Amino acid sequence: MSHSSEIQACIFDLDGVIVDTANFHYKAWKRLANELGFDLLPEQNEKMKGISRMESLDMLLEMGNIEATRKEKKQLADMKNNWYRDYISEMQPQDILPGVLDFLEELTEAHILVAIGSASKNAPTIVRQVQIGRYLDALIDGSKVTKGKPNPEVFLKAAEEMGMEPADCVVFEDARSGIEAAKNGGMRAIGVGSEQMLHQADMVIPGLDHINLEKLRTLEK
Ligand code: B16
Ligand code: MG
């Protein structure tokens, strides 16, 4: 696929790109694992990033060799989500990661559209807490999709809501499953995190404080 077209929209993953809720997810899953009698290591957690709540729970239960009925799974997922919601309830605009607001301002001034494409059903709450709603042309969260990343549905819906073609969009993602989702949808992808983890991306940056419009435009060449 040719990726030489002009960039007209940026779609941002939320957890781990705009805010560091990835850490809160980890804390809550680890707490659940501990309740169930085992531990969750950071490298095991890495695989759960970007994956929906119920799929993440299935992975966790598999790691702990635990079987559960549907009803029990629902209870466990609710437990995790209640802890997680507790952690995020204190979030404020100061919790936005470095470089995010400057970059969103720069995109807005350049008339590049901005969307959030998150697997999280808590995305609207987080957006409200950190007050970034004014920058968004679309917000697609976990309640609006049926197929999780690496399926591209979340990003395709964001593009559609902005009236954009996939080839007009660049996705920013911290999860391997998210980079795959962007690629599966025919979009360019910028990995946010470690090069080693996200090597399938067109470019990898440590955080949004390492990107600006000029650098973004290098993906057009
Ligand atoms: P919730 P993202 C994802 O958000 C997280 O990376 C992933 O760890 C989480 O399980 C998923 O959201 C579902 O979140 O339980 O809040 O619905 O990275 O796609 O913004
Ligand atoms: Mg993420």
Atom 12 (ligand 1) nearest CA: 120
Q: Is CATH 1.20.1250.20 the classification given to domain 22-88?
A: no
Q: What is the distance in A from the centroid of ligand 1 to the CA of 120?
A: 4
Q: What is the distance in A from the centroid of ligand 2 to the CA of 118?
A: 7
Residue type, 118: S
Strand order of the sheet with strand 9-12?
A: 138-140, 113-117, 9-12, 169-173, 188-192, 203-205
Q: Is the pLDDT of residue 2 over 90?
A: no
User: Which own/partner pairs from 70-76 qualify as long-range (CB within 8 Å, at least 24 positions apart)?
Assistant: 76/32, 76/36
Model pLDDT, residue 22: 87
Residue 120 beta carbon below 6 angstroms from any ligand 1 atom: yes
Domain 3-20+93-220: give its CATH code: 3.40.50.1000
Q: What is the distance in A from the centroid of ligand 2 to the CA of 192?
A: 9
Percentage of the residues of the chain whose pLDDT score is greater than 90: 93
Residue 13 beta carbon below 6 angstroms from any ligand 1 atom: yes
Residue 177 beta carbon below 6 angstroms from any ligand 1 atom: no
- Across the chain, mean pLDDT equals 95
pLDDT in tens, 157-194: 999 999 999 999 999 999 999 999 999 999 999 999 99
Among 11, 14, 15, residue to substitute to test ligand 1 (most atoms within 8 Å of Cβ): 15
Q: Is the pLDDT of residue 221 over 90?
A: no
Pick the closest to residue 142 from 118, 167, 174, 169 (CA basis).
118
Q: Is the pLDDT of residue 1 over 70?
A: no
Model pLDDT, residue 61: 97
| Active-site residue flag, 13 | yes
Q: What residue segments make up the domains of the chain, in order of their start?
A: 3-20+93-220, 22-88
Residue 118 beta carbon below 6 angstroms from any ligand 1 atom: yes
3-20+93-220 with 22-88: one CATH topology?
A: no
Q: Which atom of ligand 1 is nearest to the CA of 174?
A: 18
Q: What is the distance in A from the centroid of ligand 1 to the CA of 212?
A: 26
pLDDT in tens, 88-120: 999 999 999 999 999 999 999 999 999 999 999
| Active-site residue flag, 20 | no
Model pLDDT, residue 163: 98
3-state secondary structure the chain: CCCCCCCCEEEECCECCCECHHHHHHHHHHHHHHHCCCCCCHHHHHCCCCCCHHHHHHHHHHHCCCCCCHHHHHHHHHHHHHHHHHHHCCCCHHHECCCHHHHHHHHHHCCCEEEEECCCCCHHHHHHHHCCHHHCCEEECHHHCCCCCCCCHHHHHHHHHHCCCHHHEEEEECCHHHHHHHHHCCCEEEEECCCCCCCCCCEEECCHHHCCHHHHHHHHC
User: 4: pLDDT confidence band, cut at 50, 70 and 90?
Assistant: low
Model pLDDT, residue 11: 98
Please, which residues bridge with residue 12 across strands?
116, 172
